[in-house]
Amino acid sequence: MDCLFCKIVAGEVPSETVFEDDAVLAFRDINPQAPTHILVIPKDHVASAAELEDRHAGDLVAIFKAAAEIASAEGIAQTGYRLITNIGREAGQTVFHLHFHLIGGRPMGWPPG
């Protein structure tokens, strides 16, 4: 499988893991856009949120629960944070393995540019 994040899941590409369970891996983004910038991904490959099927339901709940736990551990649960998933080229998706950016630790504007 020629997928960067599958290689990170397999341990073939190093990453700074902050959370792991049976379904989910979370690791620090290599190019952080905020004091906390963590990628939360399903271990099972799916290209984007547009490709989700019924069988992925459990993975999604696990991802959102993991994100809340990580936000608490990072000390940003009270101040707030974003969970963002980019879908496709114009949205800025560059890695085609579903991932949620957990971004926090600074104020953020809206709408995104």
The residue ranges that bind ligand 5GP (CB under 6 A) are 4, 13, 15, 27-31, 39, 86, 92-95
Is 43 an interacting residue with respect to Zn ion (CB under 5 A)?
no
Least gap, CB of 51 to ligand 5GP (angstroms)? 14
Name all contacts of 53-61 with Cβ < 8 Å and 24+ positions apart. 58/23, 59/23, 59/24
State the binding partner of 86 from ligand 5GP, Zn ion, none, CB within 5 to 8 A by kind.
Answer: ligand 5GP
Task: Say how far residue 56 (Cα) sits from the centre of its chain.
Answer: 15
* Catalytic residue flag (residue 99): yes
Q: Which of 28, 29, 30, 26 is nearest to 62 (CA)?
A: 26
Is residue 82 within the footprint of Zn ion (CB under 5 A)? no
- What gap in Å lies between CA 52 and CA 50, rounded to an integer? 6
- Residue 78 or 94: the one with the smaller Cβ distance to ligand 5GP is 94
Residues 6+ apart with CB under 8 A from 110: none
Query: Considering only 14-22, 28-36, 73-81, 97-105, which stretch makes contact with Zn ion by CB under 5 A?
Result: 97-105
Q: Which residues are catalytic, by number?
A: 99
